[in-house]
């Protein structure tokens, strides 16, 4: 498949046939999962998912992506992760991960790891969009940890703590940086979250409300 033939007659005919086979399998007491497309631009993803729901009677659907563009060999974990997040939001039951080696060669262990993490991100983004409370709670928790400069909690709540720690420690390797109220992006002077905390502290100590300071 390719972006050029997404949602064309042949692809949609295959989906219709899957719907027919689904009812026949169910009649015999067999479990069914339908396989979806691998290359679909974003504007056609919702249509494809809705037709699967209608024609396949809400049988579980799984997709390899889909890739949202064909121009990025070596980065198809990203092009497909975008599509996976979208189709997951629209109702896809299972996302089959894609590695950076897709269309190029057999993936190694690092490629598999990169693909799996990419798809965990896509699945979580879809869960957020669908309003799953647990997904929102995790985002809220890491946002609160970030605002309060609880670096170790930020790392632990992330999908890839080891990479987060490595990236942080590239520029601030000292152990004391794990409790610092800044990172190397904005530094100690221009961190918006530190400034906000300082303003709130000043307001509390001097009897001001946040509204007073905003309007001043």
Q: Kindly report the CA angle at 26 between 20 and 31, in degrees rounded to 5? A: 110
Classify residue 142: in a domain, yes or no: no
107 and 17 in one domain? yes
Domain count, the chain: 2
**From the CB of residue 126, how many other CB atoms can be counted at a distance below 10 Å?**
21
pLDDT score recorded for residue 38: 94
- 145 found inside a domain: no
What is the C-alpha end-to-end distance of the chain, expressed in Å?
60
CA–CA gap between residue 18 and residue 25 (Å, rounded) = 10
Residue 163 lies in a domain: no
pLDDT by position in tens, the chain (length 216): 899 999 999 999 999 999 999 999 999 999 999 999 999 999 999 999 999 999 999 999 999 999 999 999 999 999 999 999 999 999 999 999 999 999 999 999 999 999 999 999 999 999 999 999 999 999 999 999 999 999 999 999 999 999 999 999 999 888 888 888 888 888 878 888 888 888 888 888 888 887 777 776
Q: What is the CATH number of the domain that holds 37?
A: 3.20.20.540
| 100 and 28 share one domain | yes
Nearest CA to 148 out of 188, 182, 102 is that of 182
Q: How many residues does the chain have?
A: 216
Give me the domain span that covers residue 27: 3-131
């Amino acid at each position: 498949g390719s972006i050029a033939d997404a949602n064309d007659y042949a692809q949609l005919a295959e989906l219709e046939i899957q719907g027919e086979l689904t009812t026949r399998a169910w009649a015999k007491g067999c479990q069914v999962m339908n396989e979806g497309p691998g290359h679909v631009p974003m504007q056609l993803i919702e249509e494809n998912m809705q037709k699967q729901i209608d024609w396949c009677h809400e049988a579980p659907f799984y997709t390899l992506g889909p890739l949202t563009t064909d121009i990025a060999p070596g980065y198809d974990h990203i092009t497909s992760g975008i599509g996976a997040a979208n189709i997951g939001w629209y109702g896809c039951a299972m996302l089959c991960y894609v590695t950076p080696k897709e269309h190029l060669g057999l993936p190694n262990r690092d490629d598999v790891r990169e693909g799996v993490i990419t798809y965990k991100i896509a699945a979580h983004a879809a869960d957020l969009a669908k309003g799953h409370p647990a997904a929102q709670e995790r985002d809220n928790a890491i946002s609160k940890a970030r605002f309060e400069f609880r670096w170790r909690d930020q790392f632990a709540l992330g999908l890839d703590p080891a990479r987060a720690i490595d990236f942080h420690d590239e520029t601030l390797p000292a152990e004391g940086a794990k409790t610092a109220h800044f990172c190397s992006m904005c530094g100690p002077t221009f961190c918006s979250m530190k400034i906000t905390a300082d303003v709130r502290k000043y307001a509390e100590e001097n009897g001001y409300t946040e509204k007073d300071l905003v309007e001043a």
